[in-house]
């Protein structure tokens, strides 16, 4: 029964196609010029509209998938400060900078100094905020400081971290470097105190250092 229904359906479609193909062909031939003009008009109007639509769609998709991105830039070598740099095309919101810095020359160099985190409500597109000082009462002239500084924001692409070394009041010695995936998060206190130069070279080789004074 099912086969019979299928056969009848195929026959019906074939006969119907035969019956309307010829009238349709006659109508198309008699209206050839009108259809050509209409097709040209549709092409003139439709093609730019399609291109504009695709471009707008691309921009919307790009905006949806892009995220804000922030970085740190350290300035003022005599009294080190930082600037927050928004490198993206989106406003960076709720930007937070945190510190894990050790005073190598203090009586208790194994504990980080209690520098409070700093929050900024926003940083505009492709712009910067700052500078912000952060050592304040913890900065002692001649003392050496080393550690990690973190920056992130709401919806940011990644949490960025930096190595920072400063000898307070000695502008030529301070440097920073963005940490890479291969770097360790653990700092060996004993080596930091007793073998500083060699240890710094292992953690942050000279070629990666950005000197705050601007020297090479």
Percent of the chain at pLDDT exceeding 70: 69
Return the exposure string of 96-116: e unless at least 16 CB atoms fall within 10 Å of the residue's CB, then b: bbbbbbbbbeeeebeeebebe
Give the closest residue to 214 by CA, choosing from 76, 36, 107, 17: 76
- State the average pLDDT over residues 25-46: 53
Query: Would you report the helix, strand and coil content of the chain in percent, each value rounded to 5?
Result: 40, 30, 35
For residue 11, the model assigns a pLDDT of 44
Residue 121 confidence (pLDDT): 96
Distance CA 188, CA 181 (A): 18
Q: Strands, DSSP E only, in 10-143?
A: 70-75, 81-86, 92-103, 118-123, 128-133
Instruction: Output phi, psi for 51, to 5 deg.
Output: -60, -45
**What CATH number labels 70-211?**
2.60.40.10
Q: Residue 66 pLDDT > 90, yes or no? A: no
Q: Where are the domains of the chain?
A: 2-65, 70-211
| Cis peptide bond upstream of 189, omega within 30 | no
**Residue count (the chain):** 216
The yes-or-no verdict on residue 62 having pLDDT over 60 is no
The rounded distance, in Å, linking the Cα atoms of 166 and 47 is: 61
Mean pLDDT, residues 48-53 taken together: 52
38 pLDDT above the threshold of 50 = no
Per residue in 147-159, pLDDT tens?
Answer: 999 999 999 988 9
| Whether 53 contacts 77, CB under 8 Å | no
């Amino acid at each position: 029964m099912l086969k019979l229904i299928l056969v009848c359906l195929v026959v019906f479609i074939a006969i119907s196609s035969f019956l309307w193909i010829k009238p349709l062909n006659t109508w198309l031939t008699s209206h050839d010029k009108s259809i050509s003009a209409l097709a040209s008009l549709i092409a003139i109007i439709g093609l730019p509209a399609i291109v504009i639509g695709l471009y707008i769609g691309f921009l919307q998709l790009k905006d949806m998938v892009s995220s804000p991105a922030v970085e740190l830039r350290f300035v003022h070598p005599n009294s080190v400060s930082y600037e927050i740099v928004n490198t993206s095309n989106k406003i960076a919101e709720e930007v937070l900078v945190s510190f894990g810095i050790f005073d190598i020359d203090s009586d208790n160099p194994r504990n980080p100094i209690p520098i409070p985190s700093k929050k900024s409500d926003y940083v505009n597109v492709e712009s910067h905020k700052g500078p912000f000082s952060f050592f304040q009462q913890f900065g002692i002239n001649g003392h050496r400081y080393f550690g990690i500084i973190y920056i992130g924001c709401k919806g940011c692409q990644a949490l960025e971290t930096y190595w920072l070394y400063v000898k307070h009041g000695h502008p030529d010695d301070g440097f920073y470097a963005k940490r890479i995936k291969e770097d360790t998060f653990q700092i060996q206190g004993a080596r930091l105190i007793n073998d500083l130069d060699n240890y710094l070279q292992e953690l942050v080789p000279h070629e990666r250092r950005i000197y705050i004074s601007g020297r090479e």
